[in-house]
Amino acid sequence: MTTPWTDHLQLEAFVKQFELADRLGHDAFGEYAAVADELDELYLTQAQQFLQELDPDGAAERFAEVVRLNETLLARADRELARPERVAPDYRTDLIAWRTEAADLAVYAQGEALLAQAMQRRLSGDLRGAVDLYEQAQEQFGQLAEESEARGGLGELKALLSGTDAGFCQGVLAMGAGAYQQAREIFRQVRATYQEIRRELADDAPDVGGGPPGAGTPAGQVAWEVEAQLAYADMMFQLASFFDHVRSGHPDRAEECICEAVGLYEEWMNLVIAQGCAPLQRRVMLMELSNLRGWQGWVRADVARERRDWQRCREHLTRAEQAWSACADLSARLSVTGRASLPFEMSNIEMLLETSRRRYQRERELWQEIERLTAQLRAQGRVEVHSHGGYGGHGGRGGAGGSIGMSENQEHHYSTYNFPGANVGAAGDGARAERFQQFTGLRPGDFRHLAEELEDLAVTMGGAATDETRRAAVRAVRAAAEGARAQDESAVRRHLRAAGAWALDMAARLGVSAAEAAVRGALGG
């Protein structure tokens, strides 16, 4: 018997009567199983609605109700089968069928509850906790795949998907630790697994189409989830590549990757919105897109700075600031509900923007001074400028990296150039610079500039120091800044040597060239 009721309170009350009955005959148990099926469907639908609204706690509660309902039905079937009097063969057969279905559904719902809990951990920023829960869900669905004939195929797919979701979180963790190449490889593997799952779904159930979560069969929900996660993994691969290129000093390649990431995210977001999503989910997507657009503006500003297009550099930095401000505002509103946290890479964004502005301002003033001096010397007929600009040695962006040659009849003292505050890699006739490091014979102004950059570096490192080793490195960089203010070069070297390779990596990522050169020199690089 299938009841027309849709109110879950009525269904729950009716099911409770069957659960409390002293004994159930064949017809009564059949009615009990039918009403329980209807209540199961209602709970599962509500759980999917909670997930769409980014309320995984509500979804987990509904899945737990499904588990309780089916475990109770299973126990009630065992009780009827264990009665001393003989059970009619057709009733026994039906009891075993109802019991099997209840056992399968309970295992499935337990796995879904673990996935909902993992989603809550991800939203709160606890990725390690999410990995643990995804792995538990993988084991749960693996049990379903081994023990269930009716749901074994679905269990196998969900187990594979849960393990892949765990890998996805590990990729994000690797990005947070600065292991971008490792993150790229993880996301590459994640993409390959999602593609394989998609092929299997197409082969086994070609009539299963994509659709929003909650629509269609469980297999249809899996198909939709795979498509969404595959698109998101594509974006994350590009984002990891972006950070890798930024750290290795290839802003042009980094710009290509972040533009690709923004495009992929916009396509994915528009698809989700077109299929229908809750307002809260839309705000989370807008937060993440604003973060990506912030990085896009920032790297475009860096490219413009290298090309000495100061106006575009300033414009792109403004766009980056606006995008990141929108991201932070959305995150603040979402965090009140506990539904989202600030992207990990935004923890020191204000410091990054301030450092980028200082760098842009210093280099613009430097090149204005270079151009003024060049024009002055040219007017005096004392210098012939073949080229200037670009890179001055290893890590010396913004220095005079070209060849400045003199006429044969000019005195050699005109080959002495003084660029205050510049990281000059090479200047003069046939000048070359190989792995140039400017860290000896610093003038008072150089020490002041180095101290400022080391302070910026220490603040940034402090926000990422998650263990005692890294906190010790932060203290060493701060001590080096004190040494720079005291114009004690040996103290600066000693403390930066103690700061180690992490300080060098963070300096390169932050773009503080004087600090990076000082750390590299202290480490003997």
Mean pLDDT for the stretch of residues 347-354: 77
Q: Per mean pLDDT, which range of 18-22, 337-341, 349-353, 504-508 is the poorest?
A: 337-341
Which has the higher per-residue pLDDT, 495 or 374?
495
Chain length of the chain: 525
Closest by Cα among 269, 202, 218 to 115: 218
80-94 pLDDT tens trace:
999 888 889 999 999
Per-residue pLDDT band for 478 (boundaries 50, 70, 90) equals very high
Element (H, E) at 333: helix 310-337
Closest by Cα among 44, 45, 42, 48 to 281: 48
Q: Per mean pLDDT, which range of 235-249, 255-269, 332-346, 419-433 is the poorest?
A: 419-433
Per-residue pLDDT band for 240 (boundaries 50, 70, 90) equals very high
368-405 pLDDT tens trace:
888 888 788 777 765 444 444 433 333 333 333 333 33
Per-residue pLDDT band for 431 (boundaries 50, 70, 90) equals very low
Check pLDDT > 70 for residue 367.
yes
117-138 pLDDT tens trace:
999 998 888 999 999 999 999 9
pLDDT at residue 337, rounded to an integer: 63
Closest by Cα among 191, 138, 145 to 166: 138
pLDDT at residue 112, rounded to an integer: 96
| C-alpha span between 515 and 504 (Å, rounded) | 8
> How far lies 190's CA from each of 128, 271, 305, 309, in Å?
17, 21, 36, 39
The percentage of residues in the chain with a pLDDT greater than 70, rounded to a whole number, is 80
Check pLDDT > 90 for residue 197.
no
pLDDT at residue 258, rounded to an integer: 95
Check pLDDT > 80 for residue 60.
yes
Average pLDDT, the chain: 80
